Chain A
Amino acid sequence: MDLFSDEYTDGNALAGPLRELFTVDMTSAVGRCVSCGGEGPVAGMKVYAQAPGLVARCPSCQEVLMRLVRGPSDAWLDLRGTMSLRIPMPPE
């Protein structure tokens, strides 16, 4: 292992933490990056999880797309780097 490798995972790791907040799966949602306009599923975001919160970055330009901090009695969700999210809705 490279000691200095930038260890990240991907947006699949957000499935549980986001499913705690939303009633539908959010990893299939397609987001658009505010910075580069790139589009892709939440599952494909680069996620830095070894941090005080979860930080999801654009796989193309590294812009911070999403931050999720979970405290004992509150969760903070920051989406300022995401222009929009298209969320597939399961049939009723």
Chain B
Amino acid sequence: MARAAVSGGLNRRLAWHAARLAEVVEETPSARTLVFDVPDWPGHLPGQHVDVRLTAEDGYSTERSYSIATPADGTRVALTVQRVDDGEVSPYLTETLSPGDVIELRGPVGGWFVWRSADPAPVLLIAGGSGIVPLMAMIRARREAGSRALFRLIYSVRTPEDRFYADELRTRARDDMGLDVGYVYTRQAPEGWPTAPRRLSVADVNNGGWPPDFQPACFVCGPTAFVETVADILVALGHDPRRVKTERFGPTGS
């Protein structure tokens, strides 16, 4: 039988791995970073994601995709998960899963929405909410690789309390040469913030991004509607659509 004939070594399709939760970092009141230990992890590129599979005792099984938050680090794989209140998976990952627990994980996957540290082009990162996660992996990888590519991050978030990695981004904006970090608050701004809460605008992208002439690599990640608005703004400002890479989290982000 054909199936039996290929099973001797050639059958290397991507398989599910057991991932043991090693560490938990609280990021916001409703999000946490889960650091898993995955034996045989082959490494990954910043921007890649994993598929997570949960199986209940009665056999019911469900899958979700989560971006990896950190550059490759041996067998460690860190995911930052935002709790979606009526979600099926994220409440379990953010409230129930405890160190030592094992889930199934498949990856790394995705080869398009990735930043390669050898690329010297300036980079514009635009995050909506938890869309910051794969972009943070790029920011972290940049410094680790000693890249001098100029990075600008525009991070649209509902309230200051909802920011992921706030302290780290503050430190990196100071210490990582060539990294700029800007925020847009959509519901509630910090005390003394110069503008009232509002949605990301053309002016934000124009002022906080790079001129199209610089031919930056643009990475946009967030909810579907946010990503489409931002991608339209970038193209309207003159950016080459092929340089605008997008990742949307739709209904499967729960």
Interface, chain A (partner B; CB < 8 A): 5, 7-13, 15-16, 19-21, 23-25, 27-28, 41-44, 47, 49-50, 88
Contacts and interface: CB of A to CB of B under 8 A. Distances in A.
Contacts of A5: 225
B9 interface: no
Nearest to A43: B112
B246 interface: yes
Interface string B38-71: 0000000000011100000000000001000000
Contacts of B110: 12, 15, 25, 27, 43
B235 to A, nearest CB: 12
A7 B250 CA distance: 6
Given A9-B249, A15-B110, 7 more contacts: A7-B251, A8-B251, A9-B252, A10-B246, A12-B49, A15-B109, A16-B106
B252 A16 contact: no
B112 A12 contact: yes
B245 A43 contact: yes
Interface residues of B, number: 26
B243 interface: no
B224 interface: yes
B250 A8 contact: yes
Interface string B103-122: 00011011111000000000
Which 5 A-B residue pairs are closest in the complex by CB-CB distance?
A9-B250, A25-B111, A15-B109, A43-B112, A16-B51
A12 B249 CA distance: 9
9 contacts: A7-B250, A9-B248, A9-B251, A12-B247, A15-B111, A16-B50, A27-B113, A43-B110, A49-B250
Given A8-B224, A16-B51, A43-B245, A25 B109 contact: yes
B49 A10 contact: no
Contacts of A27: 109-113
Contacts of B107: 16
B89 to A, nearest CB: 13
A50 B254 CA distance: 12
Contacts of B252: 9, 13, 49-50
A64 to B, nearest CB: 17
Interface string B211-252: 000000000000011010000000000000000011111111
B113 A43 contact: yes
Contacts of B14: 16, 19-20
A25 B114 CA distance: 12
B111 A28 contact: yes
B41 to A, nearest CB: 15
B248 to A, nearest CB: 5
A73 B14 CA distance: 15
Contacts of B113: 12, 27, 43
B224 A9 contact: yes
B44 to A, nearest CB: 12
A27 B45 CA distance: 14
Contact of A10 (B50, B51, B248, B251): B248
